[in-house]
């Protein structure tokens, strides 16, 4: 047997179908792929060896919903909200998404890249080995393309995989004031084909909300996206129940995200369509939301639950998945194992990458985190202590 890297004596939580735990395992990696998992040591010469000393090894974490490419700073809006202004009110006053759009349109590729690189590096430092990154702060061809190019480039300059998503239908730009229909048509006819031709994104996302786009507009966008072979996903039911999640699931969405206002009776539609529920506890916390997503109904219907940072300048500036796991447990009542599944195998499902990543199994990519504890509870219990010890990306030890 050939192997380039062997992780010896690790406590392994696989997050495979049977949720197998190995108290003492040897993981063999060849050409970036997990080639053997054994409870005994197999002698192979020439391979790099790491003694895990009984510490915990998990799949690399997957952040399946982020907006980390942007310019500007919205800390002032946080201060306004502390004085009582709502997220929707700030958006109506020219703040919110539109203010980030202004700054992002002005920013150079170099500026956008350096700020996003720092965010992605921080994510990596906390165990994230795959990050989905959305556009959506350009709202015109030029800047949407610029954002997606920057997002993709991060995967070349850092040891992190980037999954780019086109979120052109995020907010109505000033050029289309009071003409959301016209804007959606512009995106469908002028922008989407370019994103497809230049292979700049694998999925199309949108914001379905009373302060954003309605279900008719979303349906039109998604039908066009599906024709061009994009995966689809949706920001749905974050502030009100618009029935966006049901529409998206019926059209085959891989995930629907946020879901605080999802009607419990709609959970079965997600289940029937294998749509993942992506919960974003950072935004729930930061916006002081009190309406909880219908967690028990999602579980009763066996809807896979993923957790992500939603990292963005307005509603969740956070970069750490362990922090999100902690919030998912405290606010949403998930168990520690459920929260971990939410940032590994279920996040992989949300990105349609569960054949490649998300669990420690033969044939999967060797994206792994070795933690400086043998107790999984530690990582979620205190996210301000960084338990992330070593990261293995594509079979290469990077820290």
Does residue 162 belong to the site contacting ligand DI6 (CB under 6 A)? no
Coil/strand/helix, residue 394: coil
Does residue 260 belong to the site contacting Fe ion (CB under 5 A)? no
Work out which of 173, 244, 304, 314 binds ligand DI6, going by CB under 6 A: 314
Does residue 383 belong to the site contacting ligand DI6 (CB under 6 A)? no
Minimum distance of ligand DI6 from residue 137's CB (angstroms): 7
Query: For 133, what's the count of Cα atoms within 13 Å in the CB-facing half-sphere?
Result: 32
Any residues with CB less than 8 A from the CB of 362 and at least 6 apart, and which? 34, 35, 36, 37
Minimum distance of ligand DI6 from residue 210's CB (angstroms): 12
Q: List the single partner that 260 binds among Fe ion, ligand DI6, none, CB under 5 to 8 Å by kind.
A: none
DSSP structure string for 123-190:
HHHTTEEEEEEE--S--SHHHHHHHHHHHHHHHHHSSSEEEEEEEEETS--GGGTT-HHHHHHHIIII
Determine how many CB atoms are found less than 10 A away from the CB of residue 47: 15
**Site size for Fe ion (CB under 5 A):** 1
Secondary structure string (H, E, C) spanning 315-331: CECCCCHHHHHHHHHHH
Choose one: 92-100, 114-122, 146-154, 335-343; the region binding ligand DI6 (CB under 6 A).
92-100
Q: List the single partner that 315 binds among Fe ion, ligand DI6, none, CB under 5 to 8 Å by kind.
A: ligand DI6
Q: List the single partner that 97 binds among Fe ion, ligand DI6, none, CB under 5 to 8 Å by kind.
A: ligand DI6
Minimum distance of Fe ion from residue 134's CB (angstroms): 7
Q: List the single partner that 96 binds among Fe ion, ligand DI6, none, CB under 5 to 8 Å by kind.
A: ligand DI6
Work out which of 15, 183, 186, 207 binds ligand DI6, going by CB under 6 A: 207
d(CA 397, CA 375): 22
Minimum distance of Fe ion from residue 4's CB (angstroms): 38
* Strand 48-51 with 5-13, pairing: parallel
Choose one: 5-13, 54-62, 108-116, 306-314; the region binding ligand DI6 (CB under 6 A).
306-314
> Are the C-beta atoms of 22 and 352 separated by less than 8 Å?
no
Any residues with CB less than 8 A from the CB of 319 and at least 6 apart, and which? 68, 119, 122, 123, 126, 309, 311
Coil/strand/helix, residue 279: strand
Does residue 200 belong to the site contacting ligand DI6 (CB under 6 A)? no
Does residue 283 belong to the site contacting ligand DI6 (CB under 6 A)? yes
If phi over 0 gives left and psi between -120 and 50 gives alpha, with beta otherwise, what is residue 302?
A: left
**Site size for ligand DI6 (CB under 6 A):** 13
Work out which of 6, 57, 64, 97 binds ligand DI6, going by CB under 6 A: 97
Minimum distance of Fe ion from residue 312's CB (angstroms): 6
Q: Which of 23, 18, 19 is nearest to 52 (CA)?
A: 23
Q: If 0-12 CB within 10 Å is exposed, 13-18 middle and 19+ buried, where does residue 110 land?
A: exposed
d(CA 321, CA 343): 7
Q: In the complex with Fe ion, which residue's Cβ is closer, 256 or 360?
A: 256
Does residue 313 belong to the site contacting ligand DI6 (CB under 6 A)? yes
Q: List the single partner that 238 binds among Fe ion, ligand DI6, none, CB under 5 to 8 Å by kind.
A: ligand DI6
Q: In the complex with Fe ion, which residue's Cβ is closer, 297 or 310?
A: 310
Work out which of 140, 309, 312, 346 binds ligand DI6, going by CB under 6 A: 312
Q: In the complex with Fe ion, which residue's Cβ is closer, 310 or 338?
A: 310
CA 339 and chain centroid, separation? 14
Does residue 205 belong to the site contacting Fe ion (CB under 5 A)? no
Does residue 132 belong to the site contacting Fe ion (CB under 5 A)? no
Does residue 310 belong to the site contacting Fe ion (CB under 5 A)? yes
> Are the C-beta atoms of 244 and 205 separated by less than 8 Å?
no
Q: Contacts by 93-96 with C-beta closer than 8 Å and gap 24+?
A: 96/171, 96/314
Minimum distance of Fe ion from residue 235's CB (angstroms): 5
Q: List the single partner that 34 binds among Fe ion, ligand DI6, none, CB under 5 to 8 Å by kind.
A: none
> Are the C-beta atoms of 123 and 89 separated by less than 8 Å?
no
Choose one: 102-110, 143-151, 171-179, 304-312; the region binding Fe ion (CB under 5 A).
304-312
Residues that bind ligand DI6 (CB under 6 A): 96-97, 100, 170, 207, 235, 238, 283, 310, 312-315
């Amino acid at each position: 047997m050939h192997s380039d890297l062997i992780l010896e004596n690790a406590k392994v939580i696989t997050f495979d179908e049977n949720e197998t735990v190995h108290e003492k395992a040897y993981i063999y990696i060849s050409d970036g792929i997990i080639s053997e998992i054994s409870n005994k040591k197999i002698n192979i010469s020439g391979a790099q060896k790491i003694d895990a000393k009984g510490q915990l090894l998990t799949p690399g974490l997957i952040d399946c919903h982020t907006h980390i490419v942007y310019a500007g700073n919205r800390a002032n809006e946080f201060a306004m909200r502390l004085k009582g202004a709502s997220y929707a009110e700030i958006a109506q006053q020219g703040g919110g998404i539109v203010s980030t759009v202004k700054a992002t349109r002005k920013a150079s590729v170099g500026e956008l890249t350096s700020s996003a690189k720092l965010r992605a590096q921080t994510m990596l430092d906390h165990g994230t080995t795959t990050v989905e990154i959305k556009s959506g702060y350009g709202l015109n061809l030029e800047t949407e393309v610029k954002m997606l190019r920057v997002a993709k480039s991060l995967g070349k300059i850092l040891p992190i995989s980037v999954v780019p998503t086109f979120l052109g239908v995020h907010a109505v730009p000033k050029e289309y004031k009071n003409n959301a229909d016209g804007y959606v048509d512009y995106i469908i006819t002028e922008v989407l084909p370019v994103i497809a031709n230049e292979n700049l994104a694998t999925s199309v996302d949108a914001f379905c909300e009373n302060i954003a786009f309605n279900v008719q507009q979303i349906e039109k966008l998604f039908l066009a996206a599906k024709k061009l072979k994009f995966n689809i996903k949706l920001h749905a039911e974050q502030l009100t129940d618009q029935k966006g999640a049901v529409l998206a699931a019926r059209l085959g969405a891989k995930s629907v995200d946020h879901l605080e206002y999802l009607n419990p009776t709609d959970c079965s539609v997600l289940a029937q369509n294998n749509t993942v529920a992506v919960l974003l506890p950072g935004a729930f916390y930061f916006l002081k939301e009190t309406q909880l997503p219908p967690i028990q109904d999602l579980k009763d219907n066996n809807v896979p639950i993923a957790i992500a940072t939603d990292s963005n300048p307005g509603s969740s500036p956070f970069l750490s998945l362990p922090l999100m796991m902690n919030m998912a447990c405290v606010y949403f009542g998930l168990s520690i194992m459920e929260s971990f599944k939410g940032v590994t195998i279920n996040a992989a499902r949300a990105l349609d990458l569960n054949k490649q990543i998300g669990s420690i199994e033969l044939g999967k990519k060797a994206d792994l985190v070795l933690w400086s504890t043998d107790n999984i509870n530690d990582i979620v219990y205190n996210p301000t202590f960084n338990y992330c010890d070593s990261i293995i990306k594509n079979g290469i030890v990077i820290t």
